[in-house]
Structure 1
Amino acid sequence: MQLRTEKPVITAKNYLSVGPGEYPCGNNLYLVVTPSGGRRWAFRYQRNGVVKKMGLGSAKAAGLKLSEAKDKAIDALRHLAKGTDPREHRNDEKRRAQGSRLFGEFAEEWRQTYEAGLKHKAARNKLKRIVQVICKQLHKLRLDEIETEHIIAVLRKVWHQREISRDTRQRIKKILDAAIALNLRPKHNPADWDSRLKPIMPKQRKRGSIRGGHKAMEYHDLPAFMQKLAANSDQSARALEVAILTFARTIEVQNMRWSQLDLEGGLWDLGTLDTKNERPKRTPLPRQTLAYLRDTYEGRVSEEFVFPGRSLTKPISNMTMLKHLKQITGDETLTVHGFRTTFRTWAQEETDFEEEIVEHCLHHITGDDAEKAYKRGEALRKRRVVMQAFADFATRSPNNKVTPMRAA
């Protein structure tokens, strides 16, 4: 009578040395060793009454380790628990990988190409956040399997942010348009607004047709605010003052350089750097701003930036001015950009300055494209009068009675 020998328990130390046979390793995992020396991992399972086997990979020294094979077996059990055939699931994954590219890798390549045409760092950062963060749930989807419901799932998370949701939808559409052009997905674009998304997405509240959507301080409150701001000795408080009195955008003040300033002539020449409409920009400096800049220049700590950051080789953060604004006013809704509206309202309510010159102070060139093409003058003298009048109003004692400013 021949005695039955028990098979050894497979461990991480002996799975490479056991002889021919099939060895159970737990969780439906088996080590299969052939008489010729072949060694592989297999997952056995039953589906609809049929016993099946799925190979997991080589069990030789250069193949899968025991721990890795067990992980694959556990993953297969999870698919069974969900009612999915693990072998069919694996085959689907292979077909998906071979059939088209994934959205994530394609979108990242597209971003790196597209952002080369973006002038401002803020625009490039916004694009990067849309592709890498907001659209993250699309990353593992194939380009040819993305449908409108996938786009809607992304947009619903940012739908309360009107501009962000609009930019996200537009960027996704451009990415999928590029995929269509390269024959990586069907011709229809699931991110098309009129035909796909507009009939489904809820209506957003309109921002209104009046320019200046940023929350602005009432111009009557400005002198008192400027008095409080003047009591703050921080560099960022001075940057905020410069922004208010020159009507500059945050990024323009943030990146203000000594090389741009004519401290004798009282001019700030940005060229087209950081300007929104890409037109050359020279800004007259009111006396109050010019006095500060001249004093600061003598004791400057950076040869490049007027308002340097901690490293001195980079500008201050774009949030420092906003931080002071919120600390002094206690109003979380106010924005630095809103002071441009404050000036515009003051000019409309309290002065008779020409509207075209007031708009030019904000670097808004009025008229259609043909008119703009012929408007090459800078109106520096007229703009200097307007800007000085506003600076005098903003920096006067709030106890003094404000009298309407009139054009000379």
Structure 2
Amino acid sequence: MGKNMGKGFAVGKLSTRQIETSKGKRVLIDGDGLRLVFGAKGKASWVLRTVKDGREYNIGLGSYPIVTLSDARALVIQKKKEILNGLDPILEKRKKHQMLTFEEAAYKTFEQLSPTFKNDKHKNQWINDLKRYIFPKIGNTKIDQLKHEYVVDALASLWVEKHVTAKRIKQRIKAIVDWAVGRGYREHALPMGAIDKALPKVSHKPKHHAALQYSEISKCLKVVKSKRGVAALAIQALILTAARSGEIRGARWSEFDFENDVWTIPAERMKAKTEHKVPLSKQAKAAFEEAKKMQIHKDCDLVFHGNSANLELSDNILTDSIQEWGFDVTIHGFRSTFRDWIANETQFDGDLAEMALAHTIKNHAERAYRRGNMLEKRREMMNAWASYCEGKGANVVKLVRKKANGK
């Protein structure tokens, strides 16, 4: 039993009648640290005074008579058990008064993740999708009060209409809540399995990037080469190297060894975060050298810069340009064109093509076996591809498939 503090009634003897007739009292003590404190205009609040590790805590338990005497006694037992199990009442009080909304937690998570984004496009998309689709629905919900059913309601319609976007947003919501758990704003993460099961079933086929038939590539390259400007040269280089848009748009002169005709893309600019060497055909090298001649800002390390130094071209500029020139394709689709040509028209090994595309090898044993970059074999393949793109054919043996009966 606790010790009486100040004037009050006997320990554990406080009754509702005594409370109701306690005119002029400042404090009524029930015992075991529980006291009823009277404030201005006769308003009263329950307070638990307790000590842990030599530190005194005063914990508010609510206003009387909303919280009754029996309620307050039950809360005393609950709070003392929580403190015994490691609860810090001061931290809990601070969090209660400073609890973040989901939107505020999202911005704090975004701030922490910002250095990990590959480019400004991904960075802006991460927060802008939340602004557009999620904040209007659950942005003002306190992060500790966010329930999985709220998330289901917020995602349900988007899950059907924009499934890919909704899946990405769901992962961002998980990251935000996980951050809140790690920072002590929540006790538990969201049950993602339950959210998945509660969302509508979506039946869809994967949407592939619109790609050019490889039989049309020489016509396309001829049109691109007839155009002037940095975008045209960037598209030339992209087609001839089978590189990704971001790898081309972010290319730096310091990455090139024109003496040995090799372009070395550093790990931090690669999707798989692994350094990638690209053997340059004479046609690809010519596109880069032409870009050097057109360079306005001579001290700029960026190969295909935009309107000002150190400003990359946007992916939209490349896509808009190729479509304006009469080809209804995406820039990324040229990689598929290259891969289809390898598979259908040559005997170059499929794994060699995957290395040229800088695709990650999922099989760990195979990845260990193929540590070498097979640069010279890939050089032969890229030279053949460049010749084919120029309409000159390629000195490769066409793949002949055997019939089922072996003939």
Structure 1 and Structure 2 fold alike (TM over 0.5): yes
SS in 1 for 2:321: helix
Q: Note if contact 2:101-2:141 (Cα within 8 Å) is conserved in structure 1.
A: yes
Hey, what does 1:114 align to over in structure 2?
Answer: 113
Q: Note if contact 1:350-1:404 (Cα within 8 Å) is conserved in structure 2.
A: no
Deviation at 1:264, TM superposition (A): 2.0
State the aligned residue count: 301
Unaligned runs of 5+ in 2: 1-94, 399-407
Confirm whether residue 283 of structure 1 aligns to residue 289 of structure 2.
no
Give the aligned CA root-mean-square deviation in angstroms.
2.7
Q: Aligned ranges for residues 10-29 of structure 1 at < 5 Å?
A: none
Hey, what does 2:167 align to over in structure 1?
Answer: 166
Hey, what does 1:48 align to over in structure 2?
Answer: none
Q: Note if contact 2:214-2:340 (Cα within 8 Å) is conserved in structure 1.
A: yes
Give the Cα–Cα distance (whole angstroms) in 2 for the partners of residues 173 and 236 of structure 1: 39
Q: Aligned ranges for residues 8-407 of structure 1 at < 5 Å?
A: 98=97, 100-137=99-136, 138-156=138-156, 158-159=158-159, 160-185=161-186, 187=188, 189=190, 192-207=191-206, 213-302=208-297, 303-329=300-326, 331=328, 334-366=329-361, 368-396=363-391, 405-406=396-397
Deviation at 1:404, TM superposition (A): 7.8
SS in 1 for 2:271: coil
Give the Cα–Cα distance (whole angstroms) in 2 for the partners of residues 193 and 222 of structure 1: 45
Q: Give the AA of the match of 1:171.
A: R
SS in 2 for 1:310: coil
Q: Note if contact 1:322-1:336 (Cα within 8 Å) is conserved in structure 2.
A: yes
Give the Cα–Cα distance (whole angstroms) in 2 for the partners of residues 277 and 179 of structure 1: 29
SS in 2 for 1:319: helix
Give the Cα–Cα distance (whole angstroms) in 2 for the partners of residues 372 and 324 of structure 1: 37
Give the Cα–Cα distance (whole angstroms) in 2 for the partners of residues 142 and 329 of structure 1: 51
Q: Note if contact 1:308-1:314 (Cα within 8 Å) is conserved in structure 2.
A: yes
Give the Cα–Cα distance (whole angstroms) in 1 for the partners of residues 252 and 98 of structure 2: 52
Give the Cα–Cα distance (whole angstroms) in 2 for the partners of residues 374 and 122 of structure 1: 36
Q: Give the AA of the match of 1:321.
A: L
Q: Give the AA of the match of 2:206.
A: R
Q: CA 1:113–1:188 in 2, change beyond 3 Å: closer, same or farther?
A: closer
Q: CA 1:253–1:194 in 2, change beyond 3 Å: closer, same or farther?
A: same
Deviation at 1:153, TM superposition (A): 4.1
Give the Cα–Cα distance (whole angstroms) in 2 for the partners of residues 304 and 403 of structure 1: 34
Q: Give the AA of the match of 1:341.
A: S
Give the Cα–Cα distance (whole angstroms) in 1 for the partners of residues 370 and 119 of structure 2: 25
> TM-score when scaled to structure 2?
0.67
Q: Give the AA of the match of 1:129.
A: N
Deviation at 1:114, TM superposition (A): 2.4
Give the Cα–Cα distance (whole angstroms) in 2 for the partners of residues 156 and 330 of structure 1: 36
More deviation, 301-310/140-149: 140-149
Q: Note if contact 1:268-1:284 (Cα within 8 Å) is conserved in structure 2.
A: yes
Deviation at 1:250, TM superposition (A): 0.6
Give the Cα–Cα distance (whole angstroms) in 2 for the partners of residues 298 and 273 of structure 1: 27
Deviation at 1:185, TM superposition (A): 3.9
More deviation, 107-116/337-346: 107-116
Q: Note if contact 2:236-2:287 (Cα within 8 Å) is conserved in structure 1.
A: no
Give the Cα–Cα distance (whole angstroms) in 2 for the partners of residues 126 and 385 of structure 1: 39
Unaligned runs of 5+ in 1: 1-95
Q: CA 1:99–1:360 in 2, change beyond 3 Å: closer, same or farther?
A: closer
Q: CA 1:227–1:358 in 2, change beyond 3 Å: closer, same or farther?
A: same
Q: CA 1:122–1:99 in 2, change beyond 3 Å: closer, same or farther?
A: closer
Q: Note if contact 2:209-2:330 (Cα within 8 Å) is conserved in structure 1.
A: yes
Query: Cα deviations across residues 25-48 of structure 1 (Å, max 9, x unaligned)?
Result: xxxxxxxxxxxxxxxxxxxxxxxx
Query: Cα deviations across residues 289-325 of structure 1 (Å, max 9, x unaligned)?
Result: 2123224324532331111111123122221110112
Q: Give the AA of the match of 1:127.
A: W
Deviation at 1:134, TM superposition (A): 3.3
Q: Note if contact 1:223-1:396 (Cα within 8 Å) is conserved in structure 2.
A: yes
Q: Note if contact 1:351-1:404 (Cα within 8 Å) is conserved in structure 2.
A: no
Hey, what does 1:80 align to over in structure 2?
Answer: none
